[in-house]
């Protein structure tokens, strides 16, 4: 009996060809696993295509709720954004796909798992490292990394030779990946970082020039750092993110054009669309500024960078991740309240925030009547705060009495 392999199968050209290749070249019985993380493709069509390509079986899993609950929202609470711009949609999807591949491999008593990543990207690392952590006994095969087909044309020729029906959707020069947290687009003309991305690459966001002239406002409710409502209506995470993707996408919110550093050492130009993630990250940060202290905010920003790198670099299933989560969760105890966001012409801006745990005290901040802040006490505070500055300035900065104090001189 042939050994079984579970292939993470998107329904696209690469993974269709991979089904046949795994069967012909490696002798596996292929179980094609399709996971919906927000693209909601018609499984009937994809299922048939997998069987026609030579799969022994096609399996479907709806990963949307788990993706939001265990991956996207924890990353939101952490404020995880890679290199300041990328909300990590693709990177967050990989560990869940790995987990589901392993689950199905166990159910089916398979010996191996397979994924459609190339040998040049981050995704191969995320899949391989995650599977190695979850199921070290499973073999991992990455057909695209191993076969000698170089181009889309090579794959089309292979498909024709083997009579494999391939996706009939119009040919795209781009490589894309999509889930509820966002969409990633690369290749084609985008490989020239000087070229402005053509408008037709976008699917989730309207161009700013076609976005409504009037802004929309949306109020996002958070409980302990997790979004729970839109405009006062309590929603499950999947519905909330879907609605927000649509609403913010209409206003052209969430486009990112980034030259980023891949883990494998290559700089690459990638375009992202992440309407809901962009709005939620900005809203969440605004609520943190209301409810966290200054050192909490500062430390959290450092942890956010660590967290983003960890996700990007495929280290989701690690003890270090658990350590970072412990800190993040502790910070979110009082991040409860609502933020009103204005969506307009490509921008998502927090314009109002409130919280039962707010640290903002108007009677301290006000310049109007009702002020309880003791301004005379500031004098003593400044005397002590400035003490070491005065001592050092006298001893070291004002070398010649009467000389103007210069911190840096242009001649130096
Ligand atoms: N650069 C992004 C990452 O490493 C996205 C990778 C997948 N992109 C794609 N266009 N297929 O997470």
> Which residues in the chain land under pLDDT 50?
none
Question: pTM here?
Answer: 0.96
Q: What is the reported pLDDT for 131?
A: 98
Residue bearing the CA closest to ligand 1, atom 4: 122
Q: What is the pLDDT of residue 171?
A: 67
Instruction: Name residues contacting ligand 1 (CB within 6 A).
Output: 90-91, 122-123, 175-177, 184-186, 270
In the reported structure, the alpha carbon of residue 177 is separated from the centroid of ligand 1 by a whole-number distance in angstroms of 7
Characterize the bridge pairing of strands 347-354 and 337-344.
antiparallel
Neighbouring C-beta atoms of residue 257, cutoff 10 Å: 14
- Pocket test of ligand 1: the residue of 8, 14, 115, 122 to mutate, having most ligand atoms within 8 Å of its CB, is 122
Residue written as token pair 């609520």: 287
CB 2 within 8 A of CB 8: no
Q: Where are the domains of the chain?
A: 4-64+84-171, 176-292+335-354, 361-412
CA-proximal residue: ligand 1, atom 8 (nearest): 184
- Give the per-residue pLDDT at 280: 99
Residue 14's SS3 state is: helix
Active site residues: 14, 94, 123, 175
- For 177-215, letters b (16+ CB in 10 Å) and e give bbbbbbbbbbeeebeeeeeebeeebbebbbeeeebeeee
Q: Quick one: pLDDT at residue 393?
A: 86
Of 121, 263, 265, best ligand 1 pocket probe by most atoms within 8 Å of the beta carbon = 121
Whole-number pLDDT of residue 396:
82
Ligand 1 center to residue 403 CA distance, Å? 58
The reported pLDDT for the residue numbered 408 is 72
Question: 188 C-alpha to center of ligand 1: Å?
Answer: 14
Closest ligand 1 atom to residue 82 Cα is: 12
SS3 311: helix
Supply the pLDDT for residue 234: 98
Architecture of domain 176-292+335-354: Alpha-Beta Complex (3.90)
Look at residue 140 in the predicted model and tell me its pLDDT: 98
Model pLDDT, residue 167: 81
Give the CATH number of domain 4-64+84-171: 3.40.50.620
| End-to-end CA, the chain | 78
- Summarised one tens digit per residue, pLDDT across range 135-176 is 999 999 999 999 999 998 999 999 999 999 888 666 688 999
Burial of 122 (0-12, 13-18, 19+ CB in 10 A): buried
What are the strands of the beta sheet with 175-179, ordered from one edge?
175-179, 182-186, 267-273, 255-261
Distance 223 CA to ligand 1 centre (A): 31
């Amino acid at each position: 009996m042939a050994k079984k392999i579970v292939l993470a199968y998107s329904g696209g050209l690469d993974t269709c060809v991979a089904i046949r290749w795994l069967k012909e070249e490696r002798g596996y019985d292929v179980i094609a696993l399709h996971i919906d993380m927000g693209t909601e493709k018609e499984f009937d069509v994809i299922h048939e295509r997998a069987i026609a390509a030579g799969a022994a079986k096609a399996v479907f899993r709806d990963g949307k709720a788990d993706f939001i609950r265990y991956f996207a929202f924890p990353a939101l609470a952490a404020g995880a954004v890679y290199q300041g711009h990328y909300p990590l949609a693709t990177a967050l999807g990989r560990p869940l796909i790995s987990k589901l591949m392993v689950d199905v491999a166990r159910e089916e008593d398979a010996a191996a798992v397979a994924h459609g990543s190339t040998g040049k990207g981050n995704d191969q690392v995320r899949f391989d490292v995650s599977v190695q952590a979850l199921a070290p006994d499973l073999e991992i095969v990455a057909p695209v990394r191993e076969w000698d087909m170089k181009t889309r044309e090579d794959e089309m020729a292979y498909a024709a030779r083997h009579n494999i029906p391939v996706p009939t959707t119009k040919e795209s020069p781009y490589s894309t990946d999509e889930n509820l947290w966002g969409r990633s687009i690369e290749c084609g003309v985008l490989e020239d970082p000087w070229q402005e991305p053509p408008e037709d690459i976008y699917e989730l966001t309207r161009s700013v020039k076609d976005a409504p002239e009037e802004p929309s406002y949306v109020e996002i409710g958070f409980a302990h750092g997790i979004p729970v409502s839109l405009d006062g209506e309590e929603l499950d995470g999947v519905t909330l993110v879907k609605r927000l993707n649509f609403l913010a996408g209409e206003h052209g919110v969430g486009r990112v054009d980034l030259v980023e550093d891949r883990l494998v050492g290559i700089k690459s130009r990638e375009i992202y669309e992440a309407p809901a993630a962009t709005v939620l990250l900005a809203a969440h940060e605004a609520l943190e500024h209301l409810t966290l202290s200054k050192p909490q905010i500062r430390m959290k920003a450092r942890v956010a960078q660590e967290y983003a790198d960890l996700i990007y670099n495929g280290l989701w299933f690690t003890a270090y991740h658990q350590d970072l989560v412990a800190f993040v969760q502790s910070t979110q105890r009082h991040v409860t309240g609502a933020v009103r966001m204005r969506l307009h012409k490509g921008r998502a801006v927090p314009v109002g925030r409130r919280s039962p745990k707010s640290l903002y005290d108007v009677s301290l901040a006000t310049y109007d009547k009702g002020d309880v802040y003791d301004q005379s006490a500031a004098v003593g505070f400044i005397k002590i705060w400035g003490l070491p500055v005065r001592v050092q300035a006298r001893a070291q900065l004002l070398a010649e009495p009467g000389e103007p104090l210069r911190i840096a001189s242009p001649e130096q």
